[in-house]
With several copies, the nearest count.
Chain A
Amino acid sequence: MTVAPDARKQWHHLTRAPIDVGALTAQVADVEAGAICTFLGTARRHSEGKEVNLLRYEAYPEMADRVIAEIVAAAQARFAGAKVAVMHRLGDCPLGEASVAVVVAAPHRGEAFAACREVIDTLKTKAPIWKQEEFRDGTAWVGDPGSFQPRRDA
């Protein structure tokens, strides 16, 4: 039996299963926190006017897991009292399901919103993760214009 590289390791911030937001919230919830801000990125049916069937995510998992851990640590250092949990989905992500979740618990809502926004913005620009859109007529990697592959059986 062949084991895919991803399956051999346990990542802290990457999962091939649907994201369990309740479990992430439980990780950060705290009776000293008065505010919890959660961001979910969800798979949309439309991308620049084109209809999407499915999203698929790929990562450089060793680096992505490390980069996300650094982003979490930086946010917790910058926003005193904030606790941050992040999970990114890999593989197929059906429409409407979450591709990424950021949950921040903090003493007050100002820090909770600001830390949550900072984490998702930084993750998008720094974590080595790629999104492929599957259309009726083929697939393309977002942000990589020449990557469209027509569907073989179309």
Chain B
Amino acid sequence: MNLRVLLFAGIAERAGTREWPLLDLEAPLTVGALVQRLERDHPFLRSVPYVVARNQAVVRADEVLSDGDEVALLPPLSGG
């Protein structure tokens, strides 16, 4: 299973990139399990507040991801 993880604003800045492509993940994978994995590989995430969107909608941690999903880590919103 392949996923794209999109990064924005302060998270993209800390990561030094706007996207983490994740290839050959083992299914099934929940949003919560993906977050655990990302926070293990990128420890800076543990100290940044963010919510997770899946295919452009905010999701709960127990949702199961599908191949090709577009995941996004959204730091605190400040538009307007």
Contacts and interface: CB of A to CB of B under 8 A. Distances in A.
Per the CB under 8 Å rule, do A and B touch in the complex?
Answer: yes
Interface of A: 41, 57-60, 62-64, 66, 88, 99-100, 120, 123-132, 141-144, 146-147, 149
Given A130-B8, A144-B48, A144-B49, A66 B56 contact: yes
Contact of A123 (B74, B76, B79): B79
Contacts of A63: 53, 56-57, 72
Contacts of A58: 8-9
Interface of B: 6, 8-10, 13-14, 47-49, 53, 56-57, 72, 74-80
Contact of B77 (A127, A147, A149): A127
A144 B80 contact: no
Contacts of A130: 8-10, 75, 77-79
A144 B78 CA distance: 9
A141 B9 CA distance: 7
B79 A60 contact: no
Nearest to B57: A63
A120 B80 CA distance: 7
A52 B48 CA distance: 24
Contact of A144 (B53, B72, B75): B75
Contacts of B8: 58-60, 128, 130
Nearest to A124: B80
A25 to B, nearest CB: 18
B77 to A, nearest CB: 6
